[in-house]
Amino acid sequence: MAGDILRGTEGREWNEKRLKTYVTAKVKQFGEKQGCYPASIDIVASSMGGLITRAFLADRQLDVYGDPTRKLNLKVGKVIMIATPNARTLLAAWV
């Protein structure tokens, strides 16, 4: 689970890179076992994980081929966000 690799103490950019690394590894693993890459993936995220997911979705080009000039454009089927502050939060101004 991605919850094991993301850290709330780190920033969004750091976690976005970690998420991309994790998803790339899982897509490669799927490809090795199944002989093809997944047609799409679904994502469930909560709180800060939803913000990290939004940033990840902006660039879904994955380096699964080991060739930086050739990338896999990952399709995302469903994204479910739970308690993600998409419209910001008033409390953040006071912290």
Amino acid at 3: G
Contacts of 63 (CB under 8 A, 6+ apart): 24, 71, 72
pLDDT at residue 92, rounded to an integer: 60
Q: How far is CA 65 from CA 17, 33, 47, in A?
A: 18, 15, 32
Write the DSSP symbol of residue 46.
E
CB count within 10 Å of CB 38 equals 15
Averaged pLDDT for residues 12-32:
89
Measured CA to CA, the distance from residue 23 to residue 81 in angstroms comes to: 17
pLDDT tens string 26-74: 999 999 999 998 989 998 988 888 888 888 888 878 888 877 778 888 8
**pLDDT band at 78, cuts 50/70/90?**
very high
